[in-house]
């Protein structure tokens, strides 16, 4: 899996899956530019500090990024314990806006990888709503749609991971056909990252204990990073529009 010479932008690069992905991509020869609201704790080839919840901040970050980008790994995210509006902005609307703004800088063969979640597996139950949100044309239009269709705090994380998967499915093929740019999702299960405790709080101890038998253990961040790296690489040049579970088999236990 050779990424030599590729320029790849990674959001959420300062911790967790983002940091491990940045480390792995650089080991494989990529030129890695990190984007995060926190300062990096690892070596990068470039870094842009940005709050991905604000459209103006995203636009400012875009102006600081390279003119050619071979890959974008959208890994930044906030847990469902954060306010609904912030979850919507970071985990969906900001991600979508950043990707659209960078698309013109991506040559044929470039790749976008969005980090979703196993908690997005119920997307078919709300498909019509997610498709409607996916058709909103901008960050502000998305906010307006959500104002008319409010999302409950207790399910907001799942909702926007579902929405991300549906948007990826809906948008991937037009971009692949018209531009040769691939877009896919990776869906981790629980991962040992700084926000794992927030997920336990979000789901509740009863749900966590009920599901504990379904998996061997939470993943380590460096067990998710290779899947992101593969989808960024030319080895995955004919993989587009998928949601890849990287969850130690957790998804299979719901059949």
User: Residues with catalytic annotation?
Assistant: 157
Q: Count of alpha carbons within 13 Å of 1, Cβ hemisphere only?
A: 17
Angle at 164 between CA 2 and CA 72, to 5 degrees: 30
Q: Are 91 and 77 in contact (CB under 8 A)?
A: yes
What is the distance between the alpha carbons of residues 71 and 76, in angstroms, rounded to a whole number?
15
According to DSSP, the residues that pair with 7 across neighbouring strands are 31
What are 117's two structure tokens? 């979640």
| Number of neighbouring beta carbons within 10 Å of residue 184 | 24
Q: Could you say which DSSP state residue 52 is in?
A: T
Question: Which of 17, 27, 46, 15 has the alpha carbon at shortest distance from 233?
Answer: 27
């Amino acid at each position: 899996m050779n990424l030599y010479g590729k320029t790849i932008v990674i959001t959420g690069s300062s911790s967790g899956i983002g940091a491990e992905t940045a480390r792995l991509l650089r080991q494989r020869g990529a030129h890695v530019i990190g984007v995060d609201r926190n300062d990096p704790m690892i070596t990068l080839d470039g870094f842009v500090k940005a709050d991905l919840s604000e459209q103006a901040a995203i636009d400012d970050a875009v102006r600081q990024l390279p003119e050619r980008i071979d890959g974008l790994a959208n890994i930044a995210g906030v847990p469902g314990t954060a306010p609904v509006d912030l979850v919507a902005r970071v985990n969906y609307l900001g991600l979508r806006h950043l990707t659209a703004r960078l698309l013109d800088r991506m040559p044929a063969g470039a790749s976008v990888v969005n980090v979703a979640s196993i908690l997005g597996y119920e997307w078919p139950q709300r498909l019509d709503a997610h498709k409607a949100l996916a058709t909103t044309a901008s960050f502000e239009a998305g906010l307006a749609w959500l104002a008319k269709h409010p999302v409950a705090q207790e399910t907001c994380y799942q909702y926007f991971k579902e929405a991300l998967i549906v948007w990826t499915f809906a948008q991937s093929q037009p971009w692949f056909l018209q531009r040769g740019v691939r877009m896919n999702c990776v869906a981790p299960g629980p991962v040992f990252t700084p926000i794992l405790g927030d997920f336990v709080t979000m789901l509740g101890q009863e749900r966590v204990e009920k599901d504990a038998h379904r998996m061997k253990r939470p993943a380590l961040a460096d067990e998710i990073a290779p899947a992101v790296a593969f989808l960024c690489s030319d080895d995955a040049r004919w993989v587009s529009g998928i949601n890849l579970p990287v969850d130690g088999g957790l998804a299979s236990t719901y059949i």
